């Protein structure tokens, strides 16, 4: 809606989460390439890309709809991060780092949604 998505702090945080998840999933078992690895990456990317797509729309209602989709994808990401921890695909420190980013992003997304 006139402003580049790159200037949105909420997008910057979403992009940070995507990058962290891509790094963390590089070491996942190869037999998970089309399973949890792909699903976690797609869920995180969906958060960021829906912010991008919504910000390119012409109305606040459309933007709100895409932010709702981002929130759903972020919830999916939250579960998948926990699952990966339980399966010991990454250690507690990696999980805590990504979960901290995810939680901060969640708060930012909700605030962004409320302000629309």
Specify whether the CB–CB gap between 98 and 17 falls below 8 A: yes
Tens-place pLDDT, residues 44-54? 999 999 999 99
Percent of the chain with pLDDT over 70: 97
Tens-place pLDDT, residues 53-82? 999 998 999 999 999 999 999 999 999 999
Predicted local distance difference test score (pLDDT) of residue 4: 87
DSSP track, 51-107: HHHHHTSSSHHHHHHHHHHHHHHHHHHHHHHHHHHHTTSS-HHHHHHHHHHHHHHHH
Predicted local distance difference test score (pLDDT) of residue 2: 54
Average per-residue pLDDT for the chain: 96
pTM: 0.94
Query: Distance (Å, rounded) from C-alpha 58 to C-alpha 37?
Result: 34
- Domains of the chain plus CATH, in order, are 5-115 (1.20.1440.60)
Q: Which residues contact 74 (CB under 8 A, 6 or more apart)?
A: 43, 47, 102, 105, 106, 109
pLDDT above 60 (res 1): no
């Amino acid at each position: 809606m006139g402003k580049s998505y790159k200037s949105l702090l909420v997008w910057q945080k979403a992009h940070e989460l995507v990058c962290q998840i891509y790094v963390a999933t590089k070491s996942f078992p190869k037999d998970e390439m089309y399973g949890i690895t792909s699903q976690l990456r797609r869920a995180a990317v969906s958060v960021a890309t829906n912010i991008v797509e919504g910000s390119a729309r012409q109305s606040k209602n459309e933007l709100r709809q895409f932010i709702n989709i981002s929130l759903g994808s972020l919830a999916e990401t939250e579960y998948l991060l926990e699952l990966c921890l339980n399966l010991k695909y990454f250690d507690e420190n990696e999980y805590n780092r990504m979960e901290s980013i995810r939680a901060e992003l969640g708060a930012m997304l909700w605030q962004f949604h409320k302000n629309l």
